[in-house]
Amino acid sequence: MAHWQPETDSEKLTRLRAAVEQAKTELIEKEAQLADRLAEVNAFEFQFEARVGYLYDKLEALEAEIERYMERLHLLRQKQHGQDYASVDFQYRRAWQAPPPAAPTPPPQPPPPTDEAEIRRLYRHLARSFHPDLAADELERARRTEQMAAINNAYAARSLPELLALSETLNVQRSTFNVSVEALQAELDRCQRRVREIERELSQLPQRPSVQLSLEVKLARRRGRDLLGELAAETEKKIARKTVERDMLKAQFDQLGPEQGFIPLKR
């Protein structure tokens, strides 16, 4: 009877390398599947916008204009009957003037000269130590690329505390990082985690309204109907009705507003 032997480091490496390769293959397939689905969704959304979406925007703008006319007419009639009178200037500000823009965020102040010199020195040191081009293999290059991105972000922000913290953290990582078992396990975990994220995103796609509508459009097409065309025609009828309503309100406003010194409604 053979005795159980603990797995050696070499065997761990062999097993993990095989698992990583398999996980990468699965990840590539999942990413391609997600890309295909998203391409289909984007194509339908573009088609919907070209045929119907712009009409929805037009209808929404008309409804907003009607609401503004109704509000202005209400205020004008209140003024005529002496109810809650508001001055023309006040009405104009409330109706048309946008709120004052927020004060712009002041640009960050440059660091003192002494800090700037230390920032540059520390950045050059970190770049020489962790640049991706110095990697021994692709796994280490990926790790170094992430580290270098953090270094670049800290340098772009001219943040000496961030660079000091990165220097301490990354140097500890470099001294303790084992490119063998630990690195392969981390890569395996990353691939598996990303596969789960993609699967979750794929499972949520059917809940998007555009995906549900695209399914209805496909089903209607099989029955000989052009659902997008029907939606467009229905929306155009609503636009026609709302245009008449808007024009009637405008006529009332034009008749009453100028005589009262009221600010005319912009179109």
Residue 92 lies in a domain: yes
Establish if 104 belongs to a structural domain. Answer: no
194: left (phi over 0), alpha (psi -120 to 50) or beta: alpha
54-80 and 227-256 helices, crossing angle to 10° = 20
The answer to the question of residue 105 being in a domain is no
According to the model, what pLDDT value does residue 32 have? Answer: 92
In a domain, 79, yes or no: yes
In a domain, 65, yes or no: yes
Per-residue confidence (pLDDT) for residue 261, from 0 to 100: 44
Residue 177's pLDDT band (boundaries 50, 70, 90)?
very low
Of residues 145 and 111, more confidence is placed in 145
Question: Per-residue pLDDT tens for 13-62?
Answer: 788 889 989 999 999 999 999 999 999 999 999 999 999 999 999 999 99
Share of the chain above pLDDT 70, in %: 73
2 or 253: which leads in pLDDT: 253
Give the best-scoring range by mean pLDDT among 22-36, 97-111, 143-157.
Answer: 22-36
| Token pair recorded at residue 24 | 């990468």
The pLDDT of residue 174: 54
- Between vectors from CA 100 to CA 97 and to CA 102, what angle results, nearest 5°? 150
Structurally, how many domains does the chain consist of? 1
75 within a domain of the structure (yes/no): yes
Mean pLDDT value across residues 222-245: 93
Tokens 């997600």 correspond to what residue?
34
Q: Is 136 among the domain residues?
A: no
In a domain, 77, yes or no: yes
pLDDT band with cut points at 50, 70 and 90 for residue 144 = confident
Distance (Å, rounded) from C-alpha 148 to C-alpha 35? Answer: 28
- 216 pLDDT higher than 90: yes
Q: Where does the pLDDT of residue 105 fall: very low under 50, low under 70, confident under 90, or very high at 90 and above? A: low
Q: With 50 as the cut, is the pLDDT of residue 176 above it?
A: no
pLDDT of residue 132 exceeding 70, the answer is yes
If you average pLDDT over residues 190-196, what whole number do you get? 92
Would you say residue 89 has pLDDT above 80?
no
What is the pTM (predicted TM-score) of this model? 0.51
Percent of the chain with pLDDT over 90: 36
Can you spell out the DSSP letters for 120-179?
Answer: HHHHHHHHHHH-GGG-SSHHHHHHHHHHHHHHHHHHHTT-HHHHHHHHHHHHHHHHH--T
Average pLDDT over residues 204-217: 91
pLDDT of 61 reads: 93
Domain span at residue 224 reads: 9-98+180-260
Distance, in Å, from the CA atom of 106 to the CA atom of 88, rounded to the nearest integer, reads 36
